[in-house]
Amino acid sequence: MIIPKLKTKDLVTVTDLTRGEIMAIFRLTAALKKDARRGRHRDLLNKKSLAMIFEKSSTRTRVSFEAGITQLGGHALFLDGNDIQLRRGETIDDTARVLSRYVDGIMIRTFSHDNVVELARNATIPVINGLSDEHHPCQALADFFTIFEREKNANRMRMAYIGDGNNVAHSLIQCAALLGVDISIACPAAYEPDQDLVEEARRTATGSGSVIEITRDPAAAVENAYYLYTDVWISMGEEKKAARKKKALAKYKITKELLSKGRADSKVMHCLPAHRDEEIESDVLDSGRSIVFDQAENRLHVQKAIMCALMGR
Catalytic-labelled residue, pool 60, 113, 299, 301: 299
CA dist list (Å): 297 to 92, 147, 175: 31, 13, 19
- Cβ neighbours of residue 302 under 8 Å, at least 6 residues apart? 25, 26, 29, 138, 141, 142, 145
| Residue 136 annotated among the catalytic residues of the structure | yes
Task: Tell me whether residue 62 is one of the annotated catalytic residues.
Answer: no
Q: Quick one: DSSP state of residue 11?
A: B
Per DSSP, the three-state class of 120 is: helix
Annotation marks residue 170 as catalytic: no
Q: Rounded distance, CA 222 to CA 225, Å? A: 5
Q: Out of 113, 133, 139, 182, which one is annotated catalytic?
A: 139
Instruction: Give catalytic status of residue 139 as yes or no.
Output: yes
pLDDT at 87: 59
Instruction: Show the domains of the chain with their CATH numbers.
Output: 14-136+298-311 (3.40.50.1370), 151-290 (3.40.50.1370)
| Angle, vertex CA 65, rays to CA 61 and CA 68, nearest 5 | 140
Nearest to 48 by CA among 78, 25, 77, 24: 77
pLDDT per residue rounded down to tens, the chain (313 residues): 899 999 999 999 999 999 999 999 999 999 999 999 999 999 999 999 999 999 998 999 999 999 999 999 999 999 998 778 775 678 899 999 999 999 999 999 999 999 999 999 999 999 999 999 999 999 999 999 999 999 988 778 999 999 999 999 999 999 999 999 999 999 999 999 999 999 999 999 999 999 999 999 999 999 999 999 999 998 877 788 899 999 999 999 999 999 999 999 999 999 999 999 999 999 999 999 999 999 999 999 999 999 999 999 7
Predicted pLDDT at 198: 98
Q: Is 104 in the active site?
A: no
Q: Which runs of consecutive H residues, i.e. helices, occur in 103-150?
A: 113-122, 137-148
Which position among 60, 136, 270, 301 bears the catalytic label?
136
Asked if 109 is an active-site residue, the reply is yes
CB 142 within 8 A of CB 298: yes
The dihedral built from the CA positions of residue 194, 55, 6 and 160, taken in this order, carries a sign that is: negative
Residue of 133, 143, 182, 231 with catalytic role: 231
